Amino acid sequence: MKINVITIDGPSASGKGALALGIANIFGFKILDSGSLYRLFAYFLKMKLSSNEIADQIKMNIEFNKSNEKLIILHEGKDITSELRSEEIAKLASEYGSKKTVRDSLYSIQRNFYDGNILVADGRDMGTVVFKDAKLKIFLTASPEERAKRRYIELQNRGQEVNMPALLADIKERDLKDSSREISPLIPAEDSHLIDSSNMSLKEVCSIAKNLIKKEFI
């Protein structure tokens, strides 16, 4: 049986997070940013916590606060969003994300975000592994150059130092790692709707998604 989940998968900086937030705000849906769980894993591993301790920290001491503009992540009340969004943590998250033990320990945490109400889940394997039974699946992509440009603006706005050629190289490296790993590789689910946002604004992508949601849920 299909469950009330909208999955949005795709490569780094393809706009999955912005689309998920946009849809969640328009319709009042719950949201799961699964990439942040992998980033949290990397963040806590850097603090030398064990896998079990990390899972406990995520379950008990992490809070996700959704505002209109962004998703804020709090650890014991402290805003750690900027630290989690750094390129260093992204690289580590991608490295640990290729390990079966890491993916297994995050599987039930991700599944538990679904409580029967409509959930928007974005990541790499939402439609292929975690919510295989989702009612609506979207695969959102864009050219590496366009994605590097978007990430550049995002990091600059956060006041972080950025270097465009290095950013593009990082994105290409992460694409390769994410799509060629053995476990849960980044590939579109067979029953997903493919959207290439290279030449589209967020508003245009949201509008396509809105029509798909209306067809499926409303």
Binders in 36-55 for ligand C5P, by CB under 6 A: 36, 38-39
State how far Cα 189 lies from the chain centre.
16
- CB 44, CB 54: distance < 8 Å: yes
Pairwise CA distance, residues 27 & 115, whole Å? 17
- List the one residue out of 121, 108, 93, 107 whose CA is nearest residue 181: 93
- CB 121, CB 131: distance < 8 Å: yes
Quick note: the x/- pattern for ligand C5P over 103-142, rule CB under 6 A, is --------------------xxx-----------------
Q: Which is nearer to ligand C5P, 17 or 206 (CB)?
A: 17
| Nearest distance in Å: CB 66, ligand C5P | 16
139: β partners: 9, 194
- Scanning 30-38, 44-52, 74-82, 205-213 for contacts with ligand C5P by CB under 6 A, the matching segment is 30-38
Nearest-10 Cα torsion for 209, 205, 117, 32: 140
Of 14, 15, 24, 35, the one binding ligand C5P by CB under 6 A: 35
| Nearest distance in Å: CB 178, ligand C5P | 5
Q: Which is nearer to ligand C5P, 75 or 124 (CB)?
A: 124
92: β partners: none
Q: Which is nearer to ligand C5P, 4 or 123 (CB)?
A: 123
Of 15, 97, 127, 144, the one binding ligand C5P by CB under 6 A: 97
Running DSSP on this structure, what letter comes out for residue 130?
I
Planar angle of CA 145, 147, 148, nearest 5 degrees: 65
Running DSSP on this structure, what letter comes out for residue 185?
-
Binders in 144-163 for ligand C5P, by CB under 6 A: none
| Nearest distance in Å: CB 79, ligand C5P | 17
The binding site for ligand C5P (CB under 6 A) comprises 12, 34-36, 38-39, 90, 93-94, 97, 123-125, 174, 178
